[in-house]
């Protein structure tokens, strides 16, 4: 298992990858990607039981589904640096004929990507199908998902939430990136979410909270607690409080960097705040 310092170094390198990728093509979504860097690092570097010899069946291993697909930069970086495909391929992000499209797709056969994630609200439904398949196959491994809080404005999420609890899909852990921001502003201004914890609990979920989703140790503790809560008749939700743009000072505290790339000067500033740890691509 990696040490906490090794996980922090990994996260720092992932942040470098994110800002370099979106700068290179002047396109992409750095804000949410940066906010979920520590979570994705913890998930792939310590928590999940998986094989980097990827196949779509996913038998006898934990599965992950990214529902808020616009934060593909963090997924691609973590997958590459976890051995799914060459790190050098990150340089092809959003370019012609790349496997690393702006939103993940499956027809290019990119290892680690199990669903096309462009339209928001669909990932929980897909993950429920995978979780049910594991139950039918007697596979004791878990299914993980990640969602944006703005994504909760999609009705399909709540249909899936109702199904998950009603059918006791208790091998599923859904994490909400709860940063209170989306592309057009604060979630409370666009479409107020209300008491998210109370809503999931009312739908029959076991809800846990990670108050600092940008702290590796807090995330590891939260995921450990979530894993311990599986297999008890309820789906599990982690409400993960994060800061959009975390680790890059001028991107934090605002929704403005949800889908905007840094220019050359801004890139240099971002990289200076996150010194190279594992080698750039």
Tell me if 281 is assigned to some domain: no
> Is residue 71 domain-resident?
yes
Tens of pLDDT, residues 178-225: 999 999 999 999 999 999 999 999 999 999 999 999 999 999 999 999
The sign of the torsion formed by the CA atoms of 128, 134, 140, 142 equals: negative
- Specify if 269 maps to a domain: yes
Residue 175 β-bridge partners:
146, 238
Give a yes or no: residue 235 inside a domain: yes
pLDDT for 1 equals 87
Strand 206-210 and strand 181-182: the pairing is unpaired
Nearest C-alpha neighbor of 206 from the set 176, 244, 250, 170: 170
* Six token digits for residue 122: 């669909």
Burial of residue 26 (number of CB atoms within 10 Å: 0-12, 13-18, 19+): exposed
- Per the listing, tokens 């979410």 go with 193
Is position 279 within any domain?
no
Q: CA-CA distance, 42 to 166, in Å (whole number)?
A: 30
pTM: 0.97
User: Which tens digit of pLDDT belongs to each residue from 16-27?
Assistant: 999 999 999 999
CATH number where 192 lies: 3.40.50.970
* Residue range(s) defining the domain that contains residue 29: 4-273
How many independent structural domains does the chain possess?
A: 1
Residue 280 belongs to some domain of the structure: no
Q: 278 in a domain, yes or no?
A: no
């Amino acid at each position: 298992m990696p040490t906490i310092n090794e996980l922090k170094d990994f996260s720092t390198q992932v942040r470098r990858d994110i800002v370099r990728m979106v700068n290179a093509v002047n396109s992409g979504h750095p804000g949410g990607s940066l906010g979920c860097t520590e979570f994705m690092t913890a998930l792939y570097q310590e928590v999940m039981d998986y094989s980097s010899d990827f196949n779509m069946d996913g038998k006898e291993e934990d599965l992950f589904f990214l529902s808020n697909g616009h934060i593909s930069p963090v997924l691609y970086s973590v997958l590459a640096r976890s051995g799914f495909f060459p790190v050098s391929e990150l340089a092809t992000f959003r370019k012609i004929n790349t496997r690393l499209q702006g939103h993940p797709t499956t027809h290019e056969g990119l290892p680690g990507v199990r669903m096309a994630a462009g339209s928001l609200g669909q990932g929980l439904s897909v993950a429920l199908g995978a979780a049910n398949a594991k139950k039918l196959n007697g596979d004791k491994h878990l299914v993980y998902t990640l969602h944006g809080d703005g994504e909760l404005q999609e009705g399909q999420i709540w249909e899936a939430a109702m199904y998950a609890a009603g059918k006791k899909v208790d091998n599923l852990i859904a994490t909400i990136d709860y940063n209170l921001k989306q592309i057009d502003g604060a979630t409370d201004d666009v479409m107020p979410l209300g008491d998210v914890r109370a809503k999931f609990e009312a739908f029959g979920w076991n809800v846990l909270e990670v108050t600092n989703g940008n702290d590796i140790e807090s995330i590891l503790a939260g995921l450990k607690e979530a894993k311990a809560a599986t297999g008890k008749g309820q789906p599990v939700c982690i409400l993960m409080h994060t800061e959009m743009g975390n680790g890059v000072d001028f991107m934090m505290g605002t929704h403005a960097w949800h889908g905007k790339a840094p220019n050359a000067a801004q890139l240099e500033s971002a990289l200076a705040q996150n010194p190279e740890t594992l080698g750039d691509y």
